[in-house]
Amino acid sequence: MKQFKDLDLIPPLQRALDDEGYTTPTPVQQMAIPHVVAGRDLLGCAQTGTGKTAAFALPTLQRLDASKKVAAPKSCRALVLTPTRELAIQVEERFRAYGRFLTMRSAVIFGGVGQNPQVAALARGLDVLVATPGRLLDLMNQGHARFDSVEVFVLDEADRMLDMGFIHDVRKVIERLPKKRQTLFFSATMPPPIVELSSRILTNPFRVDVSPEQTTVERIEQQLIHTAKAEKPALLRTLLQDAAIERAIVFTRTKHGANKVVKQLAPAIEALAIHGNKSQNARQAALESFRTGRVRVLIATDIAARGIDVDGISHVFNFDLPDVPESYVHRIGRTARAGASGRAISFCDVEERAELSAIERFIGRRIPVVKAPATLVQAPAQLVESRPAPAASRASARRPRPATASNDQVGQVVWHSGGAPKRPSNITSGMTGAPARTAPHVVPAPGTGANNPSAAAGGEARRSRRRRRRRGGRSEGASERP
């Protein structure tokens, strides 16, 4: 197997990889880096967790270092577009980590916060700019950003851009890029609009395919527990008692649900919620506590969790099953990062059977069923919110609140002169001992009725969403701007 030292990366990058503790490139890195270093466009079908960030960041830094140009005011030499601010922050952090022995100026730009520091960062010119499309377009329209000297353009998670309604903004930014540039295009899935966009903006690309089935999903031990809805909090409390759980993300369908689970776990288990109603600062603080291990359990909605890059997540819990089958794969992919294994435990109540069928059709297999532990840890009565919230508070939980403006997370400008903080790079699985201490009962293999599993699964989930809306539930909507 190839090592990083076989990949023709310049010594400052090799040194940074040594510092990170990386020796072996992941498949997407092995396949992509030599072609991108050689200057080719890239079409990478890979999702978060495969090591795709380094696959584009390392050769981009190498190219910027070789070209030795100076970024003009208001412009950047490498532009990376990501769908969410969390992902933007993490990608920029990775550029700094890999580029710590180079002299590069980088910044991250996203919406929901004050624009002044971002304008100031751009004004000086940047080597690397990582941004979400909406804010970037805003700044461009105000004349604060120009893209005519971009040498490398990276579009990350293109399919998410489409899902979240940002593809129009992305197209507008692309119109302003110079024709002569290197383009690196990443998408976990390739729906027709993404195929169309990729063929329009890529020139003779090298294609790398690291499908989720080959990577994350294969390595994750998946389990399903059938349970009554009312029992879910006690079940989660019981399973989280397992000391083998180093770090766990618990997914809920709604923001209100995430807050509620935090309360239901307390005081025995400290957990923090991360979702679209939290201010950017609160989200970052929760992520940091989770990353540093101060809290072991993070409760998240799908949108808030996208792109979360924390090593060593040993378990993912689906407190609620997702409405969209693809989200199941994205959720469980939070564990089993870059070669590690992990465990994903999903709760399914009687109203979620349709979602379960859609997911199983989408992943092409049945999720093995395990029994719930015989005795569940009950919470003190006053902490359990068993009644539905009153109508007024349900409505206010749904109403999106404006993000709190803050200037301290943005427009970060860094001159690399060595010594970026080191992150834990070892990914430990911590997969010892089944949380439910009963032998798994494996359900027979699925039927093979659906010709187009993805489409059929999607249709079923849509119907189920409609049913759920009639029942009064609501997911954290895709219309929410990240």
- Kindly indicate which of the ranges 42-50, 115-123, 292-300, 376-384 contains the residues binding ligand AMP, using the contact rule CB under 6 A: 42-50
- How far is residue 160 from each of residues 82, 84, 464, 466, measured CA to CA in Å? 9, 9, 22, 22
If the CB atoms of residues 17 and 113 are measured against ligand AMP, the closer one turns out to be 17
If the CB atoms of residues 52 and 366 are measured against ligand AMP, the closer one turns out to be 52
Distance CA 43, CA 189 (A): 11
Pick from 12, 16, 30, 53 the residue near ligand AMP by CB under 6 A: 53
Beta strand extents in 227-310 (DSSP E only): 248-251, 271-274, 297-300
If the CB atoms of residues 330 and 337 are measured against ligand AMP, the closer one turns out to be 337
Q: Is 246 in the site for ligand AMP (CB under 6 A)?
A: no
Min. distance of Cβ 44 from ligand AMP in angstroms?
A: 11
Q: Is 54 in the site for ligand AMP (CB under 6 A)?
A: yes
Q: Of 417-436, which residues contact ligand AMP (CB under 6 A)? A: 425
If the CB atoms of residues 2 and 401 are measured against ligand AMP, the closer one turns out to be 2
Helix (H/G/I), strand (E/B), else coil: 147:
coil
Residue 330, both tokens: 């994205």
Pick from 19, 22, 331, 363 the residue near ligand AMP by CB under 6 A: 22
Helix (H) or strand (E) holding 318: strand 315-318
- Kindly indicate which of the ranges 23-31, 132-140, 143-151, 381-389 contains the residues binding ligand AMP, using the contact rule CB under 6 A: 23-31
**Helix axes 52-67 and 27-37, enclosed angle (nearest 10):** 20
Min. distance of Cβ 243 from ligand AMP in angstroms?
A: 24
Q: Is 239 in the site for ligand AMP (CB under 6 A)?
A: no
- Kindly determine how many residues on this chain lie close enough to bind ligand AMP according to the rule CB under 6 A: 17
Min. distance of Cβ 425 from ligand AMP in angstroms?
A: 6
Q: Is 245 in the site for ligand AMP (CB under 6 A)?
A: no
Q: Is 309 in the site for ligand AMP (CB under 6 A)?
A: yes
B/e letters for 34-72, b = 16+ CB within 10 Å, e = fewer, are: bbbbeebbbbbbbbbbbbbbbbbbbbbbbbbbeeeeebe
If the CB atoms of residues 48 and 118 are measured against ligand AMP, the closer one turns out to be 48
Whether residue 333 contacts residue 305, with contact meaning beta carbons closer than 8 Å, is answered with: no
Helix (H) or strand (E) holding 126: strand 126-131
Residue position matching structure tokens 């050769």: 59
CA 219 to chain centre: 18
Pick from 27, 33, 37, 52 the residue near ligand AMP by CB under 6 A: 52
Query: Would you mind telling me the total number of residues written for the chain in this entry?
Result: 482
Pick from 12, 27, 44, 51 the residue near ligand AMP by CB under 6 A: 51
Q: Interface residues with ligand AMP (CB under 6 A)?
A: 22, 24-26, 29, 48-54, 309, 311, 337-338, 425
